[in-house]
Amino acid sequence: MPQQVNRLVVVFLILGGSLTVARHYMVPKTFGALGHYRAAAIDANASKPEVYAGHEACALCHPDIAKVHDEARHRSVACEVCHGAQAAHVESPADHKPPAPRQRGFCPLCHGYDPSRPTGFPQIDPVSHNPGRPCITCHNPHAPVPPHTPQECSACHGEIARTKALSKHTTVPCTTCHHVEETHKINPLLSTPTKPQTREFCGQCHAQGAKGAPDVARVDLSTHGERYVCWQCHYAHFPEVP
């Protein structure tokens, strides 16, 4: 081989070698081990300290409260929702005391009435619901129940009550249309209230020949929407004529 070529080969070898060495020092150690990234970054992400201990950790030292809590309505509410992040308390219980929110402003974060909240979620109007008194004077936050069995449907079904109050049905009591077992007030899911199952039920007021005030809307049941029960088209808590 001519000598010029040999020299060129040497030059390229040196260039290649120095590139390899430079790459070794400049590319992070674990880059490319698992993909186009630094594998060590996974460990960096995984090694951060925890701030929330988790409700299992709380139950280890506070089994009495955990037992009450786990059988009550707030069983899905983890301890640290109200008491704050407590990994530090688990580490050294004496140095970090968990706070307990006793002021009235905290509970409405979840239980204040909001039209965007799902129907059936227990909500109160913080302005009118026993103003000025902290929630915990009547309700045990670990096992919350209403202090008295609710007498009014609006205690739980505030959204419907508010809507109905603005509608033409405002003077019709809930129990006119719904049959409610007494057990529903104590354990709501044990027996659910009934709904009218026949067209004739609404017809008692709204059929052509029905007794009652003359300004009540009346339809001929034989020709009007014969395939449906009335509430399948008309929202009975806020009846509107389409």
Partner 1 sequence: MTPEAKPPQAIAGAPEQVSQERREFLKQCAAAAPLLLATIAVAEGVAAGAEEPNYKPEEHYYGMGISVNKCIGCGRCVDACKTENNVPREPFYFRTWVERYVITTDGQTVVTSPNGGIEGFPSTVSEKGILRTFFVPKLCNHCANPPCVQVCPVGATFLTRDGVVLVDKDYCIGCRYCIQACPYGARFLNPVTRTAEKCTFCYHRVVQGKVPACVEVCPTGARVFGDVTARSSPLARFVRFNEIQVLKPQLNTEPKVYYANLDGEVR
**Interface positions with partner 1 (CB under 8 A):** 3, 10, 17, 21, 24, 28-31, 33-52, 54-55, 74, 76-78, 80-81, 84-85, 108-110, 112-118, 121, 162-163
Closest CA to 141 of 84, 82, 192, 228: 82
> Taking the complex as a whole, how short is the minimal distance between the CB of residue 218 and partner 1, in angstroms?
26
Beta-strand runs (E) in 118-187: none
In the structure encoding, which two tokens stand for residue 43, read together? 């460990």
Q: For residues 57 and 85, give the distance between their C-alpha atoms in angstroms, rounded to a whole number.
A: 12
Name the residue nearer to partner 1 (CB basis): 10 or 216: 10
Residues 6+ apart with CB under 8 A from 54: 78, 80
- CB of 65 within 8 A of CB of 101? no
> Taking the complex as a whole, how short is the minimal distance between the CB of residue 193 and partner 1, in angstroms?
20
> Taking the complex as a whole, how short is the minimal distance between the CB of residue 188 and partner 1, in angstroms?
16
Name the residue nearer to partner 1 (CB basis): 24 or 211: 24
Q: Quick one: how far is CA 21 from the chain centroid?
A: 57
> Taking the complex as a whole, how short is the minimal distance between the CB of residue 60 and partner 1, in angstroms?
14
Torsion-angle region of 35 (φ positive above 0: left; ψ -120 to 50: alpha; else: beta) = left
> Taking the complex as a whole, how short is the minimal distance between the CB of residue 179 and partner 1, in angstroms?
27
Q: Quick one: how far is CA 130 from the chain centroid?
A: 24
Name the residue nearer to partner 1 (CB basis): 12 or 194: 12
Name the residue nearer to partner 1 (CB basis): 127 or 190: 127
Name the residue nearer to partner 1 (CB basis): 105 or 173: 105
